[in-house]
Structure 1
Amino acid sequence: MKAVIVCVPVSHGNTLRVADAMAQPLGAGIVSPEEADPRELAAADLTWAPFKLVGGLNRHRPNTDDLAAARAFAERLRDARRVTR
């Protein structure tokens, strides 16, 4: 399965941390909108964008549990994709 995550890490890198946690089990590349190649996105089985963490820094988020949940979500996506193929 080919997956691409489009991510804009704005200030503290927390969104990138979540994207990275999701990218690992999916074997996905992470690109910025400027780097995103429409042909690569069209060829992907799964694309993911955008998502935003709201108030995370003030709540010490994402924490270890949040990153584990992001990884588990990505694993479920990956596993569901395998079943439907």
Structure 2
Amino acid sequence: MKVLIVCVSVSHGNTRRVADAMGAVLGARVVEPEEVTAAEIGEYDLVGFGSGIFSMAFHPRLREFVRGLPEGRGGRAFVFATSGFPVVMGPMKRLPGRKGFELVDTFSARGFDTFAPLKLVGGIRKGRPDAADLAAARAFAMALG
């Protein structure tokens, strides 16, 4: 099975660490949206889309990338996120389906978060994702394979 993981990880590297853990299990190529074309996406059997959460939403670069994919693509997809708070997957869960993907599952992990007011107190979820979070990401990936 050929797997691609498209992720945006900009603040603390939380999402990239989770993507790399999943990618190691799946033998996946892990890229940012600008490193892959819509045509290349069609070469993969399974595609993961993930980012950190910013103002309660997935990163705009990831959302715009998925919106820009051609419709009717087909194939399987999963969505994942990291955040200091619980994640609302709703809108991002629907985007791949609008492009013809079958959404097979979602995953989220806590991550170190220094969003605006949290920065004043040194952030929350320091040290996250931790070893247990990364083990959960690997277990999630194994279930996808």
Quickly name the TM-score band, shorter chain normalised: 0.7 to 0.9
Structure with the larger strand share: 2
Q: Which has the larger radius of gyration?
A: 2
Corresponding residue pairs, total: 78
1:3 match:
3
Deviation at 1:22, TM superposition (A): 0.1
Deviation at 1:52, TM superposition (A): 2.5
The gaps in structure 1 that reach 5 residues or longer are 79-85
Highest RCO, 1 vs 2 (Cα 8 Å, sep ≥ 6): 1
User: 2:24 & 2:2 partners in 1: Cα distance?
Assistant: 12
Q: Map 1:1-85 onto structure 2 (within 5 A).
A: 1-50=1-50, 51-55=80-84, 56-57=111-112, 58-59=124-125, 60-78=127-145
List per-residue Cα deviations over 1:10-46 (Å, max 9, x = no partner).
1111110000000011110011111122122111000
Structure with the larger helix share: 1
Once superposed, what is the RMSD of the aligned Cα atoms? Answer: 1.0
- Return structure 1 stretches of 4+ with deviation > 3 angstroms: none
